[in-house]
Amino acid sequence: MSQLPATQRDYLRRPFEFGCSTAVFPADELAALAESGALLEALAAGETPPATPDQKHFLKVARGEAEPQSVLERAWERLKGRREFEHEQAAAPPREAADYDMVEFDADRCWW
């Protein structure tokens, strides 16, 4: 971490906002994102340039040019997928209730 520029070390101190449910993340990926997620988000958004070969590879993974190799890269891929899924679910129209052809009961005729 000492080889990182000061601006990137600042990102590591920031809390990471997942922006989605964390229920699908294994513990190791959850911990990795909680620690480095803000930096990864800044790298992916172009807010800070890559400073290490690992960060350059991460950017290739984030752009879909390479397969994830580390826990952090796998976690980022899962995070992107989860955010996209939840966004699509929120935008989708609600499903219609199933009609089971049940006759509504009449309260005035109910004997119990």
* In the chain, where the domains are located: 6-87
- Angle, vertex CA 74, rays to CA 72 and CA 76, nearest 5: 70
Residue ranges of the chain whose pLDDT lies below 50 = 1
Q: Which tens digits make up the pLDDT trace of 65-95?
A: 999 999 999 999 999 999 999 999 988 788 7
> Residue 106: what pLDDT?
61
* Closest to 19 measured CA to CA, from 47, 35, 41, 36: 41
Q: Residue 84 belongs to what H/E stretch?
A: helix 71-91
N-terminal to C-terminal alpha carbon distance within the chain: 72
The three-state secondary structure class of 9 is helix
Q: What is the pTM of this model?
A: 0.77
